[in-house]
Each structure stands twice: as C-alpha cells, then as structure tokens.
Amino acid sequence: MKRSAPLKRVGFQRRPPKLIGWDLAREPSVTVLARVEPVSGRIVRMAAINDADFRGAVPKPEPQRNRALLSMARGQRCLLLVPGVCRGGTDTTVACHSNQSVHGKAGARKADDQWHVHGCDACHRWLDQGPAPAAEKVERFGAAHRWMVAIWQDIVAGKVPATPRERKAAQWALDRI
C-alpha cells in the first residue's frame, strides 16, 4: 500500500512520570527523588522517600591512594607465586590489588592501595580473571600480603635499603592496615 502524503515529522514527546497515590500537599515532609523503578509496560513509578531515611546515611569512604607505594613494585619479584602460572621474572611486576570487599573493593572501585602485593602479569591476570575458586585466590592473596607487610616493616625499620620516599610510603601503608 502506498501512502499519498508523507507523515508529518514531530519530535519525541516525553510523558511526565505519574506519581500514583501520593499527595505532596498533605505530606510536605516527603521528598520525591529521581529514583526510578522499572515496571513492566510503559508506566514508570517514582519512589517517594521520607527525609528521615537520609538522617543516618553513611557517606562513601574516600579511596586511599599512594603513588609512591605502587611505584615500589617495579623491578621486584612476584609475591603471589601461583604454581604453573608465575613466570618468575621481574620485568612485568606490578601492584596487584585485592578483590575482596573487606579491603574496599566494590563495583568499579579498586581496593585501597595498602591492600596490594607485588605480582607478575601472569599472576595478576590469574588473581583477577583466572578460573580458580575464590577461596584459593583469597588464601593466595592473604599469604602474599603477609609477606608484603613484612617487607614494609623491614623498610621502615631500616633493614632494607630504601629512599626516604619509600620509607614514608611503607609507613603510610602500615598505618592503614
């Protein structure tokens, strides 16, 4: 079937979301936020939240970052030493952060810098994306981190030669564990 006249071009018009069952004139202590809850069909339901819900809110903690601490990993040996995975070289060593939520890991947020170990690129890949069970990864990271803490303690005590910047970074990490 052929159309004799073209359709008229109009822009998309958004319908305002309906707030069903809430009268803001009667209850002014209710704040309507932009929390949109998906509902089947085209109806969008907005959540009404009492101001009292936000009184005890806890702000997100600031990420703990220390570039000097991370740069100390360059040229060091791998501490993860995953059997069958570790290459043993020092040319690809990087700071491998923990993947545990107790150490600050959440969603796209990386764990805080005091929760890292030195690891080669192969062990780092195994820790982040490897097929091993989570319990094995937690155990391997825990052993490596205890070793990392011992290294930091030796740096702070002066048993290991280090620059003042590295001593300060190691002390920073020990203070936050």
Q: Which of 94, 64, 65 is nearest to 80 (CA)?
A: 94
Please report which confidence band the pLDDT of residue 35 belongs to, taking 50, 70 and 90 as the band edges: very low
How far apart, in whole angstroms, are the C-alpha atoms of residue 177 and residue 174? 5
Q: What is the pLDDT of residue 34?
A: 45
Query: For 107-163, how does the pLDDT look when each residue is reduced to its tens digit (9 = 90+)?
Result: 888 999 999 999 999 999 999 999 999 999 999 999 999 999 999 999 999 999 999
Q: Would the pLDDT of 176 be above 90?
A: yes
The pLDDT of residue 159 = 95
Contact 166, 159 (CB under 8 A): no
59-99 confidence digits (pLDDT tens)? 777 889 999 999 999 999 999 999 999 988 899 999 999 99
DSSP state letters, 101-117: GGGT-BTTBPPPTTSEE
SS3 62: coil
C-alpha separations of 177 from 118, 129, 148, 172 in Å: 17, 26, 12, 9
Residue 91, C-beta contacts closer than 8 angstroms, at least 6 positions apart: 75
pTM (predicted TM-score): 0.67
- The Cα–Cα gap between 169 and 160 comes to 14
Residue 19 confidence class, pLDDT cut points 50, 70, 90: low
Residues forming beta bridges with residue 106, ordered by sequence position: 109
Residue 25 has pLDDT above 80, yes or no: no
Rounded mean pLDDT of 18-27?
A: 54
Residue 43 — very low, low, confident or very high, per pLDDT cuts 50/70/90?
A: very low
